[in-house]
């Protein structure tokens, strides 16, 4: 095995390979690519700074854990050209260069496996391998960013947002630039990979509408609880009809399969017309969990996964979908309306919204929260544009602020 990168995950792969008797018997690390070889003196396998030299040593498998786009992209392309299977945990690379990499993998018949790129500690993609019926997923909702889930869970139990983020950083969950966790970029990259795998959608992360979690308060979470649900950092995609994909905080009810997925855990709920939702959850990050998933991929490196591509849309081919413009379907909305000084009249708010055909399912009562000048609403499904117009009028008429979160439900009854 040639290792590209010896950072936190690369080092964990090396530790596991060298430290576990079974791994020692199964794999040998023939070399690792690092930036500074002098700083790695004493590592019990060759370290090089020249990728070509590493590939020239003819490894049977390349494990790419460099992160980022270049030089990872060029080296992975070179390995695939040479027919060397590649295992990668690099979500940014797959999200942004997936078309090019998977096309070359298919063209050369060289496996490119990536179980550890999304929900790194839970091997769920392999559960669908060789299972065309199970793979007919038509839409999915998922918690793909552990840092955001950890922060919202902490805030709900009374920790401040900044303190929760500090803790996520100290525990090593957050990205080096944590804004990528908080604004939904990390989840959008992972959603791109899943939408390609299950729906054959060719998306770029920038095409996915996304909201961050920073605007949420403890009172929002408390009120979501009073409404019988919670707010989770979700990533959702659908492709059976108009392709849709978005990332952002969402209100889910207590019977949603992702409701119990708390703290740093990730979870995914895959839905189809044929079966009840399939749900997987577990660690989404952590060097050891990621390394274990990578090494399982190494064991299966020579197996080519049948590419699912578009089977989610029954009767529709990947070619039919191709590169898409992503829509945002109508949903229910969880809305906070707050006034700087005065109590709001729920009936007046409902009246105004109804003139825009936005209908309220439920409003908070004063006992739901400790914020007397705020009101929370759950609306019936409507398009975002209609809700935005109604809230614009409300802000102008009542001089209040608003904050909106989508409502997500499973389609299975
Ligand atoms: N920062 C990421 C997360 C790490 O919080 O989920 C795993 O990709």
Q: Are 75 and 57 in contact (CB under 8 A)?
A: no
Hunting for tokens 């009073």 — which residue is that?
226
Please measure the distance between the N-terminal and C-terminal CA atoms of the chain and give it in whole angstroms: 47
Element (H, E) at 152: helix 146-156
pLDDT over threshold 80, residue 104: yes
Hunting for tokens 């197996």 — which residue is that?
303
User: Sorting pLDDT into bands at 50, 70 and 90, what band is 317?
Assistant: very low
Compute the distance between CA of residue 66 and CA of residue 2 in angstroms, rounded to an integer: 12
Bigger pLDDT: 151 vs 286: 151
Q: For residue 118, give the ligand 1 atom closest to its CA.
A: 8
Cα 338 to its chain centre, rounded Å, is: 31
* Residue whose CA lies nearest to ligand 1 atom number 8: 285
Please say whether the dihedral angle defined by the alpha carbons of residues 40, 45, 48 and 51, taken in this order, is positive or negative.
negative
pLDDT over threshold 80, residue 362: yes
Neighbours of 245 (CB within 10 A): 28
pLDDT over threshold 80, residue 175: yes
pLDDT over threshold 70, residue 37: yes
Q: For residue 187, give the ligand 1 atom closest to its CA.
A: 6
The reply to whether 190 belongs to the active site is yes
Count of helix runs (H) and strand runs (E) in the chain = 14, 16
* Residue whose CA lies nearest to ligand 1 atom number 4: 285
**For residue 383, how far is its CA from the centre of ligand 1 (angstroms)?**
31
* 269 strand-pairing partners: 141, 279
Compute the distance between CA of residue 373 and CA of residue 365 in angstroms, rounded to an integer: 11
List 96, 113, 190, 256, catalytic entry: 190
Neighbours of 303 (CB within 10 A): 14
Residue-wise pLDDT for 298-316, tens only, equals: 999 987 665 554 444 333 3
**For residue 143, how far is its CA from the centre of ligand 1 (angstroms)?**
11
Q: Residue 271 is encoded by which pair of tokens? A: 């839905």
Residue-wise pLDDT for 179-195, tens only, equals: 999 999 999 999 999 99
**For residue 23, how far is its CA from the centre of ligand 1 (angstroms)?**
26
Compute the distance between CA of residue 194 and CA of residue 261 in angstroms, rounded to an integer: 19
Element (H, E) at 376: strand 374-379
Mean pLDDT of the chain: 91
Q: What is the pTM of this model?
A: 0.93
Compute the distance between CA of residue 376 and CA of residue 311 in angstroms, rounded to an integer: 40
The residue to mutate among 89, 171, 173, having the most atoms of ligand 1 within 8 angstroms of its beta carbon, is 173
Neighbours of 284 (CB within 10 A): 27
**For residue 387, how far is its CA from the centre of ligand 1 (angstroms)?**
32
Query: What are phi and psi for residue 26, nearest 5 degrees?
Result: -90, -35
Which residues line ligand 1 at a C-beta cut-off of 6 Å?
145-147, 173-175, 181, 186, 284-285
């Amino acid at each position: 095995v040639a290792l590209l990168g010896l950072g936190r995950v690369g080092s964990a792969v090396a530790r596991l390979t060298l430290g576990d008797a079974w791994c020692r018997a199964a794999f040998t690390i023939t070399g690792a690519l690092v930036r500074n070889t002098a700083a790695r003196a004493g590592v019990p396998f060759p370290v090089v700074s020249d990728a070509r030299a590493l590939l020239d040593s003819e490894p049977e498998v390349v494990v790419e854990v460099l992160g980022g786009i270049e030089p990872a992209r060029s080296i992975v392309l070179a390995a695939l050209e040479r027919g060397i299977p590649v295992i990668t945990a690099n979500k940014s690379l797959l999200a942004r260069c997936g078309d090019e990499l998977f096309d070359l993998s298919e063209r050369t018949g060289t496996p490119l496996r990536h179980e550890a790129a999304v929900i790194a500690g839970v091997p769920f993609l392999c559960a669908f391998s060789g299972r065309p019926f199970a793979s007919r997923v038509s839409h999915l909702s998922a918690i793909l960013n552990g840092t955001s889930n950890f922060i919202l869970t902490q805030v709900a139990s009374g920790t401040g947002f900044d303190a929760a983020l500090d803790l996520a950083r100290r525990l090593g969950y957050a990205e080096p630039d944590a804004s990528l966790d908080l604004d939904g970029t990390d989840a959008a990259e992972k959603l791109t990979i899943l939408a390609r795998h299950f729906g054959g959608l060719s998306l770029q992360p920038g095409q996915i509408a996304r909201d961050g979690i920073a605007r949420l308060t403890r009172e929002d979470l408390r009120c979501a609880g009073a409404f019988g649900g919670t707010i989770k950092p979700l990533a959702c995609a659908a492709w059976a009809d108009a392709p849709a994909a978005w990332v952002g905080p969402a209100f889910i009810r207590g019977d949603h399969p992702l409701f119990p997925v708390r703290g740093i855990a990730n979870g995914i709920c895959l839905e189809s017309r044929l079966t009840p939702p399939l749900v997987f959850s577990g660690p989404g990050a952590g060097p050891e969990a990621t390394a274990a998933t990578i090494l399982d991929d190494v064991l299966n490196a020579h197996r080519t996964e049948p590419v699912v591509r578009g089977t989610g849309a029954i009767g529709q081919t990947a070619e039919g979908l191709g590169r898409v413009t992503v829509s945002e379907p109508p949903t229910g909305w969880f809305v906070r309306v707050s006034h700087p000084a005065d109590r709001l009249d729920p009936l007046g708010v409902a009246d105004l919204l109804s003139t825009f055909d936005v209908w309220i399912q439920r409003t908070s009562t004063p006992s739901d929260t400790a914020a007397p000048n705020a009101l929370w609403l759950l609306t019936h499904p409507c398009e975002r544009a209609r809700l935005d117009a109604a809230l614009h009028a409300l802000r102008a008429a009542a001089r209040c602020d608003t904050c909106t979160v989508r409502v997500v439900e499973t389609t299975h009854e």
